[in-house]
Amino acid sequence: MDSTWVGTSLDLNVNPLWHKEEVGLKREFDGDYVDFEGKLLIKRETGNLVEELHRISNENKKLTEMLTTLCENYNALHSHYMDLVSKNSENELSQSKKRKTECEEYSNIMINSLNGNTESSSTDEDHHQSCQRPKDNVKTHVSRIYVRTESADKSLIVKDGYQWRKYGQKVTRDNPSPRAYFKCSFAPSCPVKKKVQRSAEDPSILVATYEGEHNHMHPSRPELLLGSSPTSNLTSDPTAAPMRSTVKSVQKSEEAPAAIQQLLVQKMASSLTRDPNFTAALAAAISGRYLDQTRIEKC
């Protein structure tokens, strides 16, 4: 996520402008002679800055986890909503017209954040009305999800909040990457399956195909507390490694309709901005990321 991504609709203080000591610290450097007191002062300031960096990085990590879980929840909710909508239309349809078999609903959902680095996704669209009438198969709710991820290795994992058990992996004909088959861990009471395969054209996109509908609750962790004040969780972890956030830009321009993405962003943002704690925390997170960036490119 880059700052313009959120900065459009969220009223955040993106500019950190923290530590006015920086000017004083810069003034110590004019003239190529730095005396001992200046060194001491610089050392002390550096210590403070490092401590602040750790604190903010830690906070940034927590907020990123929060955002990830939020996106998972959003995705699960959206998928559930799609299921309800399709079921509803199916009921109406079966009462009115039995003959017209509805083509299975390809609901293309967007996911925003997964796996350490958060990125956007794009919906490929084959919204063809090919009302195929195979067997009386109206129950298979197939939904396709395109996940933008940067893990170029063979992890092939899509964190959507549910727990899956892998039961197969095959190489397919026209794709160098294998396809993984998963079942819901609540098998066989929950018949949901999903297939995950890296996209053939862009290897940084995972294509997850969900099939079925969960009949149990979302086992997502509800214990991460959203209402905590952003200044309260300052548990300074000395071993906290700074979050290595890979900064990158969305370059899938031609097949990523930015309008839909903006719409989703606005939808999520409007539901988020009602919580002032969250906005403040997000601002802090962005500041932390900004700090991290500058520190990385400085070292």
Partner DNA sequence: CGAATTTGACCCGCGC
Partner DNA sequence: GCGCGGGTCAAATTCG
Q: Which is nearer to DNA, 172 or 228 (CB)?
A: 172
> Hunting for tokens 């002390």 — which residue is that?
44
Q: How far is CA 76 from the centre of its chain?
A: 13
214 binds Zn ion (CB under 5 A): yes
Binding at 43: pick from Zn ion, DNA, none (beta carbon under 5-8 Å per type): none
CA distance 164 to 211: 13
Residue 265 interacts, among Zn ion, DNA, none and using kind-specific CB cut-offs from 5 to 8 Å, with none
Instruction: Please give the residue ranges that form the binding site for DNA (CB under 7 A).
Output: 163-170, 172-174, 179, 181, 185, 193, 195
Pick the binder of Zn ion from 106, 181, 186, 290 (CB under 5 A). Answer: 186
Taking the complex as a whole, the smallest distance from the CB of residue 188 to DNA amounts, in Å, to: 9
Rounded to a whole number of angstroms, the minimum distance from the CB of residue 229 to Zn ion is 35
Which entry of DNA, Zn ion, none binds 214, CB below 5 to 8 A by partner kind? Zn ion
198 CB-near residues (< 8 Å, 6+ apart)? 156, 175, 177, 205, 206, 207
Residues 6+ apart with CB under 8 A from 282: 6, 10, 12, 63, 272
- Name the residue nearer to DNA (CB basis): 127 or 173: 173
Euclidean distance between CA atoms 117 and 124, whole angstroms: 21
Nearer to DNA, 26 or 173 (CB): 173
Residue 168 near residue 181, CB atoms below 8 Å: yes
If binding is defined by CB under 5 A, does position 184 make contact with Zn ion? yes
Calculate helix-pair angle for 258-272, 276-298, nearest 10 degrees.
120
Q: Which does 80 bind (CB under 5 to 8 A by kind): DNA, Zn ion, none?
A: none
Q: Residues in the site for Zn ion, rule: CB under 5 A? A: 184, 186, 190, 192, 214
